[in-house]
Structure 1
Amino acid sequence: MKKILLIFSVMLFVIGCNSKPKSPEKVSKKVEIVSTRKVKKSLNERGTVVIDTRSYDEYNGWDIKGTGIQGHISGAYNLPAASLKHEIIEASLERKGITKENKIILYGDDTSMSEILSDKGYDVSVYEDGIEEWNKKKYSMEKLPRYESLVPVSWVKKLLEGKEIPEYDGRPIKVINAGWGENGKFHKTGHIPGSYYVHTGWFEEGPLWNRVSDSAIKTELEKLGITKETLVVVYGDDPMPAARFAIICKYAGVEDVRLINGGWKAWQEAGYTSEVGIDFPESVDDFGMKVPGNPDIIIDLPEAEKYLKSKKSDLVSIRSWKEYIGKTSGYDYIKPRGRIRGDKWGMGGSDPWHLEDYRADYGTYMRPYNEILKMWDDLQIDTDKKIAFYCGTGWRASEVLFYAQVMGLNKVSLYDGGWKEWSENPETEDKILKGEPENLNEEKY
């Protein structure tokens, strides 16, 4: 009897090991599966939208899985499957202008959201063959023009491990964790292993919080062991200070500056190991060139006035609506309220410390670039013109400027002084407006 029970137990074990679990990505029978031909035809049908459920980084153009596929189906929106755990699907669709009146076609690694959307009353189907088949047929695809400058955490991890990776030419590396605070408290409690801390206060100074002198920028970069040939990869708990430092590096003349998409939060979400404490890199004797090597990326007050006077350029405010119309200055150290006469509002966020209009649906990733372009188009912001972004003192505008650059815009810059400088300067303090504009973004200087 014991022998029979033993044989039976072994049989159950073997059967269990050889049986295949049901895939969690299996599409429900109640959701229609559509062909490549149907998807191609649907792209030209009014009311039909295609949604890519892969990660923000894959959508942008990173070949994370090594398949040789870069980017997404032309015209597709991006709503990562990770949105499911953040419970923001309906809010995300509303933000993209997608309603229950639309026909939705999903594709990607995990289309399990098809059932959820179907249960909520959306007309949804699934392109099961996905981007692999689409790419195989050489149909039209798109990607973020300079996606390699906005890097995924998986790429950074391999970079620091010394593995062979794409989009890297072997130059010396510095991974920088940028934020505010002389003692680097937030860095000490946890950071990407091997990364170094930068206090943005080393590169900007009060009372205007403009950048420090060119000679001081050069000295500070040399202290950090950064030369013009260093690959500088920047991140932070918040993308704003990270972008602020990244733009300073570009201004100085660093040839290769990258921003980690999602920053420290994305690293943690990926479950990668962290490091505590604080170390400082070995300094270098010389940056390698005169600073600034790229002066046009930052403009000052005289140039800002020229942008306002010219029909070929715009000064774009990256501030909250309440700041823009003068209900608040946004800062306890800025008293004047309002906007620069003749500028354009480029949206921003709920307050000076948030930038929701340029962030993705969850985390601190860049918002899908096609959504930003549509937002600008709706605001009558002409990307063919020269554009200088400004905010209160430079952080928010730096982040948007970096995104504009990775989107392929070449004639973009930062007005460093921003609202604080303009509103407190005797020559321009009277050239401001308050209240809601009669016609948004049509006011003259």
Structure 2
Amino acid sequence: MSSEIPQLPLILDSATLSRHLEDPHLLIIDVPLKPESYESGHVPGAVFLDARRLLAGSGEVPNDVPSEAALSALFSELGLTPETHVVAYDDEGGGWAGRLLWTLELIGHRRYSYLNGGIHAWRADGQPLSTTPASPTPSEYEAAYLNPQVQIRREELLERLDDPALAIWDARSDEEYRGVKGDNRQLGHIPGAVNLDWLEVMDKGRDLRLRDYAELVTELEARGLTQDKEIVTHCQTHHRSGLTWLAAKALGYDNVRAYPGSWKEWGNRDDTPVEK
């Protein structure tokens, strides 16, 4: 068994992951929308992560980033070390897995991959499943926001709404974007934001893997989301936009950020402009 840290691509297929299941440097994390997905069968060796641990959980914006202390406790429990290569996946096409990988990017841990299509693609490819919960070996991981530019805060976004170098990708549904649906004080969207529903990023006919890259780039560019711009993506809670952040990275967008407050913050304030 190699003691070298594996060099794995950002978007990982099941066949490649299956060859690395025994690698001691690999930490496979299953962060499902439905916990029973993990119980009914997961990638062998994958540890379970309750997605709520990726959110602050309280305060005015409960979907905001957890404190550095909370992230230190979480990643120590998961056994993260600087040498660990994380492979994340979920049961919904990449939302929670993307939020996890974005959180790793925020704390400066850049050894990570996404299992393309998550558990649906893994099962469809006939890969082995385990129903035995995996217990990670705890570490002493000190998490700090080493890469704060991967997030954008409300204050900066407000200041830059007229910045032609910035483009906002709203990953919510068309109804939420148009302001005909939602559970917020204000309905609609951030002025200038363009909409491409996160569900449009995954291929329903290929077990929720990412859609054809060329097609996606064409659709994004048609909306003004071009690679020369700084892209900010958000949804209601930065869960669905976990996938859109990840997809933009996979498509070669060098400057993509996420707004963790998302519409939960923006749509519940009196000092944030809204378009319908």
Q: CA deviation at 1:156?
A: 0.7
1:337 aligns with 2:198: no
The aligned counterpart of 1:376 is 220
1:258 aligns with 2:108: no
User: Does the 8 A contact of 2:75 with 2:141 survive in 1?
Assistant: no
Describe the superposition over 1:83-127 as per-residue Cα deviations: whole angstroms up to 9, x where unpaired. Answer: xxxxxxxxxxxxxxxxxxxxxxxxxxxxxxxxxxxxxxxxxxxxx
Could you tell me the TM-score, scaled by structure 2's length? 0.89
The aligned counterpart of 2:95 is 240
User: Counterpart of 1:278 in structure 2: which amino acid?
Assistant: P
Runs of 4+ more than 6 Å apart: none
Superposition map of 1:44-123 within 5 A: none
Superposition map of 1:363-402 within 5 A: 363-402=207-246
Q: CA deviation at 1:161?
A: 4.0
The aligned counterpart of 1:190 is 41
RMSD: 1.8
| Structure number with higher relative contact order (C-alpha < 8 Å, ≥ 6 residues apart) | 2
3-state SS of paired residue (1:371):
helix
Superposition map of 1:344-363 within 5 A: 344-348=193-197, 355-362=198-205, 363=207
Describe the superposition over 1:118-149 as per-residue Cα deviations: whole angstroms up to 9, x where unpaired. Answer: xxxxxxxxxxxxxxxxxxxxxxxxxxxxx921
Q: CA deviation at 1:299?
A: 1.4
Q: CA deviation at 1:311?
A: 2.1
Describe the superposition over 1:149-170 as per-residue Cα deviations: whole angstroms up to 9, x where unpaired. Answer: 10000111110145xxxxxxxx
User: Does the 8 A contact of 1:323 with 1:338 survive in 2?
Assistant: yes
CA distance in 1, matches of 2:262, 2:117: 26
Q: CA deviation at 1:367?
A: 0.9
Structure 2 residues not aligned, in runs of 5+? 1-7
Aligned to 1:283, which of 135, 138, 152? 138
Aligned to 1:231, which of 79, 85, 95? 85
Q: CA deviation at 1:180?
A: 4.0
User: Does the 8 A contact of 1:299 with 1:416 survive in 2?
Assistant: yes
CA distance in 2, matches of 1:378, 1:310: 19
1:212 aligns with 2:66: yes
User: Does the 8 A contact of 1:153 with 1:261 survive in 2?
Assistant: yes
User: Does the 8 A contact of 2:54 with 2:99 survive in 1?
Assistant: no
3-state SS of paired residue (1:392):
coil
CA distance in 2, matches of 1:385, 1:258: 24
User: Does the 8 A contact of 1:344 with 1:381 survive in 2?
Assistant: no
The aligned counterpart of 2:14 is 153
Higher Cα radius of gyration: 1
Give the % identical residues: 23
User: Does the 8 A contact of 1:229 with 1:254 survive in 2?
Assistant: no
The aligned counterpart of 1:309 is 162
3-state SS of paired residue (1:234):
strand
User: Does the 8 A contact of 1:218 with 1:252 survive in 2?
Assistant: no
